[in-house]
A and B are shown apart, each in its own frame.
Chain A
């Protein structure tokens, strides 16, 4: 990564980005103070730290908000990296079979070695995700560039096929409920001690910033990359490892959210362009913000019950995805 760090492109964070960070902070604070158990802010401050409220805050609320921020960030970044590596606007971990493969891996662990520590589980899931993503990348590498919509289509089907295998075994061994939890993001049960793997995902997202320029170059194509004297294979491997581990940690902890990264990456790319050095921070911030907002909606819409964030984001996400797809004006001749 030495060479990457020495690359000359440096851009200062803009006022817009700082504003976005501010909005996410506000959302995070709102997220901290929504919940079934009443926890007014003044209790925390006035009585010099009401022990019970503080406990609640530290054990449940803070971990949940952190988990949302870390997931949103890393899913956005993973999607953007994938879009560069696949050179396709419509890929992300849930449209390439990556998430489904991670679930399959987790199911394999649950069946074969249920006693493994959670970190090892994540590693196994990552390995599955990596293998599937790599297979898929090989699969679509021969598709002509003009048919860019075929890639996500194939990917969704690829994921569906993997999912059918997983469902079959989950059904046989009565694990359907766990399977549903892995793929439909729900942060209501996040507590201290049960989300920390997401720090790895968050860390990887930040790490990817170091290699941002390389991913941008890889996004211009393999021959272009080689022409610049860079090792395409290594960039690819690094990117796929990040994507797989992010997906796996999401699956293992709170579940994934369909189309989150795809949408965030597209909207960011439309506004600030595709130079990852500039786009990555935006994607990370917007991903966190989007997920926080969805979670807040899910927690308030049917108070005191909760709607899982995956469901809320699924409606919003697929709605926005449809808009992105269909907004292009028709051409005529």
Chain B
């Protein structure tokens, strides 16, 4: 379990994340939603020790992320930020192989190779293995990065807006994939997501943030209420039920 205790991050006296306490489940998908500037990405980065908190604590299976050795955490928790740009010219399989670094230390074993192959197949990238990343489309590249994170074989996976550069088709496919990963591999996947409807359909649990604070944590049905959404997003959102899913309409 990931426990977040009184986590705060301030920049020049402005609190981006303000006294957040949460716990993230051992398995399933948790979606973090909220308007721009709510502090979602900063929270995710602090959980993954990419940003040091101003105060508070994050425990991953009881390990304090600020104190624990990076290599130890890397076998338990993986994060993928948005806008990944690799300065290096790498092929898809080379990138995915880096996911095994915490386990292999740069010298992949047969076991590591198996994980790499599985991750590549799982993301449907077999035909693209030897292609260089800069020759891929945005969606393909995103999948390659997700494959790297899966090859890392951690219990916890944090994804910062994984749908960002994807079109409708690929966004839905990515969410289905995450759902399948969480179910098949029993992983705990936490995603920062903009589209509340994806959260509504695919997430087991939602965390809604506004102005650096958590305003709601619970099942998606609790989020998908007109009054709740209006409070979080400060705009009128109508909620309709379509084939058993509650969808928010903010276009009207």
Contacts and interface: CB of A to CB of B under 8 A. Distances in A.
Indicate whether A and B interact: yes
Interface of A: 329, 332-333
Q: Which 3 A-B pairs have the closest CB atoms?
A: A332-B11, A333-B41, A332-B16
Contacts of B16: 332
Interface in B1-16: 11-12, 16
A329 B11 CA distance: 11
Nearest to A331: B11
Report whether over half of chain A's contact residues are helix, strand or loop; otherwise say mixed.
Answer: loop
Contacts of B41: 333
Contacts of A333: 41
B43 to A, nearest CB: 13
4 contacts: A329-B12, A332-B11, A332-B16, A333-B41
Interface of B: 11-12, 16, 41
Contacts of A332: 11, 16
B98 to A, nearest CB: 26
A211 to B, nearest CB: 43
Contacts of A329: 12
A332 B41 CA distance: 11
A332 B39 CA distance: 11
Contacts of B12: 329
Nearest to A329: B12
Nearest to A333: B41
A203 to B, nearest CB: 49
Nearest to B37: A333
B198 to A, nearest CB: 22
A88 to B, nearest CB: 26
Contacts of B11: 332
A333 B41 CA distance: 8
A303 to B, nearest CB: 46
A333 B11 CA distance: 10
A213 to B, nearest CB: 40
A332 B16 CA distance: 10
B42 to A, nearest CB: 8
A333 B44 CA distance: 13
B37 to A, nearest CB: 8
A61 to B, nearest CB: 51
A332 B11 CA distance: 8
B2 to A, nearest CB: 23
A329 B12 CA distance: 10
A330 to B, nearest CB: 9
B44 to A, nearest CB: 13
A174 to B, nearest CB: 46
Nearest to B36: A333
Nearest to A330: B11
A333 B38 CA distance: 10
A332 B12 CA distance: 11
Nearest to B51: A332
A333 B40 CA distance: 10
A329 B14 CA distance: 14
Nearest to B12: A329
A329 B13 CA distance: 14
A332 to B, nearest CB: 5
A329 B16 CA distance: 17
Nearest to B11: A332
A190 B12 CA distance: 52
A333 to B, nearest CB: 7
A329 B41 CA distance: 21
A328 to B, nearest CB: 14
A226 B12 CA distance: 45
A332 B10 CA distance: 11
A110 B16 CA distance: 64
A136 B226 CA distance: 60
A63 B11 CA distance: 54
B12 to A, nearest CB: 8
A116 to B, nearest CB: 52
